[in-house]
Structure 1
Amino acid sequence: MNSAITILLTILVFGVIIMIHELGHFIVAKLCGVRVLEFSMGMGPAIFTHQKKSEEMELDPETGTMMPVNRNTKYSVRILPIGGYVSMEGEDSASKDERAFCNKPIWKRFLIVVAGAVMNLLLGFLILVGAVSTMEHVPTKQIASFQENAASQAAGLAVGDEILKVNGHSTLTYDDVITEILSDDDGTVDFQIKRDGTVQNIEKVTFYTEITDSKRELDIDFKLLAVENSVGGTLSYSAGRAVSLGKLVWVSLGDLVTGKVGFDQLSGPVGVGEALGQAASISVMNLLILIAFLTINVGIFNLLPIPALDGGRLIFILIEAIFRKPVPAKYEGLIHAVGLLFLFGLMIIVTLKDIIRLF
C-alpha cells in the first residue's frame, strides 16, 4: 500500500479510536452532572470553537465587582486529527464547584473514568459485527472432517466433536481453537471436547510438525465446520471473537511481563501503521479485524493500574472508597505526571525502534 495512504489510514484509525474513548468520558460525565469545560476533537491549535452563551455573573475577588462568566462546555476542532480530549472541572485539582468531578460521589466518578474503555470495547464489538455480517458462513468449533490418515483422528477425535478446551484453555470461537493449537510448544495437544452431549478429554494428540527456517510449522489435520450465517450467528461469533481478542491482549501483556516476548517485539504507532497497511492490502476483513483488536487493546490497556491511565485513576478512587478519604490532589497529580512522562518516554523509545527497523 502507498506510504501516504498508510499514514492517513493510521491517523484516521488512531483518531477514531481515541475520539470514541474520550466521547465515552464526555457522555457519562454529562449524564452524571459534571461540568465539562471542553470537549476537543483533535489536538494542537483550534480551528473551530463553539460555546453556548451564558448570562452567569460571578464576583471578581480582585476588583470586588460582578463579572460575566461562561461555564458552558466549549466544543473545539483542532488542527491535528490525532484523537481528542475531555477537560472537566475539578478533574486534577480541588474545586468548590458542586458540579466538579472531584465533588461527585465515588460511583459516578468510577463510571466516568471507566466509560472510555467501555466505549472502546463496544466499538471493537460493533466493528466485528459489521465484518462478520458480510460472511456467508460462520466457522464453529465442531470438527467437520479429517485429512487422510489424520493423527488427531487416530488419537481419538471424531467428526462432530465440539472443542471446548485446548491445553486447558477455554475456546470461545474457531479462532481460539486454531490459535491455541498453533501456539503449542511441542505439537502434542490435550483436548476437552463435547460428544453426544457429554464432555470428554482426549489427551496427547500429536500433530505432524516440520521445522523450516528455524520455525516450527504444525499441520492441523482436521477442518472445523462452518454454518450458514444468521443474525444470531453474527452476534454470537462477534461477541466470542471480541472476548478472544481481549484475552489475546492480556496474554500478550503477560508474555511481555514474564519475558516470554521481548521488548524488541513491542510496536508503537509506526509499527501499527505498517501492520494496518499490510492488513488493508490483503482484505477489508483483515483490516477490520485488526482495527477491532486495536480498539479493544486501547480499552484494556487504559484499565491497567498505571498512573496517568484510566486504570491509575481508578486506583485512587478505590483508595478513597476503602479509606473514606481521598489522596490529596497535589500528590495524585504528581503521580499521574510521573506516569505520563514514563508513558511518553516509552512511546518515544518504541517509535524510534520501529523507525530504525524500517531502515
Structure 2
Amino acid sequence: IIEAKLTPRRDKGRNLLGFVALPEQSPPVVARVLEKSPAAELGIPSGATLRKVNDAAVDSWPEVYDALKAAGEEPVTLTYTLHGTEKTAELGTLTKKVFDPDEFAIILPAVSLGKEDIAPLRRLVHLTNPIDALARGVEDTRQWLFRTYKSLLRIIQRRVGTEGTVGPVGIGQAAVTIAKRDGMEFVHFMSMLSAMIAVFNFLPLPVLDGGHAVLVIVEKLIRRPIPMKVQYGIQIAGWVLILGLFLALTFRDIMRIVSQP
C-alpha cells in the first residue's frame, strides 16, 4: 500500500488532481522474460532480482544497462537471487540483436523530494551560424527517420504493442496541446511529423511512393510492363488498406477521447 499526499490546483477554471505511475528502477527485479530470449532459455524467471553483471554489482536498472554496455563483446554472466537463493546464468556474448545499447534511453521525470524539486534537464540550443543550424537540422531529421523505422520494425516484430499509435484526430489533438504550451516546441513537433510522414510514404505499399518504386523494380526484373488490370487491382487493394487503417485509427482516437474523464 502506497500513501501519498496530493494537492489539487486550479487551472483555467478546472480543478486538477493527478499522479504519474513510474516504473521502479531499484532494485532491478525482472518483471517479464521475453520468449526465446537468452534469459528465457537459461531459465531466469520473473521475480528474480539481478545482483551482478559479471563482476559488477548492480542495484538499479540504469546500473544493469551500464554494466551490459561496458561488457561489449565479452561474455556476460548474470548473478541473481530468487526466494533467497543466489544463482548465476551465463548469457555469453550479447549481439546487437539481443542487446543494442542505442535502443534504450533512461528518462528522469520531474519528481518531488521534499522541499527540493528535480525537473528534467533541458538544454536550449541557439545556433547563429546557418551552416551549423543546417547540420543540426539534418542530424535531427536523420534521428527521427531512424526512430520511426525502428518503431515500425518493432511493431511488425510484435516487440511492442499498437496501443500508443494514433491517427489524424490524435495527431491534431497533440498538435493543439503542444502549440498552446510552446511555439518552438510546436515547430519541432511539425518537423517530426513531416519526417514520420516521409517514412510512411516510402513504405512498399500500393498507392504510396514506396509501392510505385517496388512496381518499377518488378518491371525491370521481369523486363516487361505489369498488365494494367494487375496495376489497377494493386492500387485498389492499397487504397482499401490505407483507408481501413485510417478509419481504424480515427475510431480509436475518438473512443480514447470519449472515454477520458
TM-score, scaled to structure 2: 0.52
String of CA shifts for 1:123-169, please: whole Å, max 9, x gaps.
xxxxxxxxxxxxxxxxxxxxxxxxxxxxxxxxxxxxxxxxxxxxxxx
Name 2:242's counterpart in structure 1: 343
Matched, 1:329 2:204: no
Alpha-carbon contact 1:276-1:287 (below 8 Å) kept: yes
Name 2:254's counterpart in structure 1: 355
Alpha-carbon contact 1:316-1:326 (below 8 Å) kept: no
Partner SS state of residue 330, structure 1: helix
Amino acid at match of 2:257: L
Matched, 1:262 2:137: no
Alignment of 1:109-188 (within 5 A): 186-187=61-62, 188=65
Matched, 1:307 2:182: no
Name 1:291's counterpart in structure 2: 190
Alignment of 1:163-312 (within 5 A): 186-187=61-62, 188-189=65-66, 190=69, 229-312=128-211
String of CA shifts for 1:215-262, please: whole Å, max 9, x gaps.
xxxx99999896753222211111111111111211121122122332
Q: What is the distance in 2 between the residues matched to 1:333 and 1:221?
A: 52
Q: What is the distance in 1 between the residues matched to 2:234 and 2:127?
A: 53
Unaligned runs of 5+ in 2: 1-59, 71-100, 112-117
Q: What is the distance in 2 between the residues matched to 1:284 and 1:208?
A: 23
Amino acid at match of 1:341: V
Amino acid at match of 2:211: G
Partner SS state of residue 264, structure 1: coil
Q: What is the distance in 2 between the residues matched to 1:228 and 1:209?
A: 26
Residue 221 and residue 306 in structure 1: after superposition, are their counterparts in 2 closer, same or farther (change >3 A)? closer
String of CA shifts for 1:254-309, please: whole Å, max 9, x gaps.
12212233222111000100110111012111111111111111112111111221
Q: What is the distance in 1 between the residues matched to 2:144 and 2:251?
A: 27
Q: Alpha-carbon deviation of 1:314?
A: 1.1
Alpha-carbon contact 1:280-1:286 (below 8 Å) kept: yes
Alpha-carbon contact 2:127-2:133 (below 8 Å) kept: no
Amino acid at match of 1:326: P
TM-score, scaled to structure 1: 0.39
Name 1:141's counterpart in structure 2: none
Q: What is the distance in 1 between the residues matched to 2:171 and 2:124?
A: 32
Amino acid at match of 1:312: G
Alpha-carbon contact 2:108-2:120 (below 8 Å) kept: no
Q: What is the distance in 1 between the residues matched to 2:179 and 2:167?
A: 18
Question: Whose strand proportion is higher, 1 or 2?
Answer: 1
Unaligned runs of 5+ in 1: 1-184, 192-202, 213-218
Residue 226 and residue 313 in structure 1: after superposition, are their counterparts in 2 closer, same or farther (change >3 A)? closer
Q: What is the distance in 2 between the residues matched to 1:344 and 1:295?
A: 20
Amino acid at match of 1:271: G
Alpha-carbon contact 2:175-2:186 (below 8 Å) kept: yes
Tell me: higher relative CO, structure 1 or 2? Use CA pairs within 8 A at least 6 residues apart.
1
Alpha-carbon contact 2:144-2:192 (below 8 Å) kept: yes
Residue 262 and residue 243 in structure 1: after superposition, are their counterparts in 2 closer, same or farther (change >3 A)? same
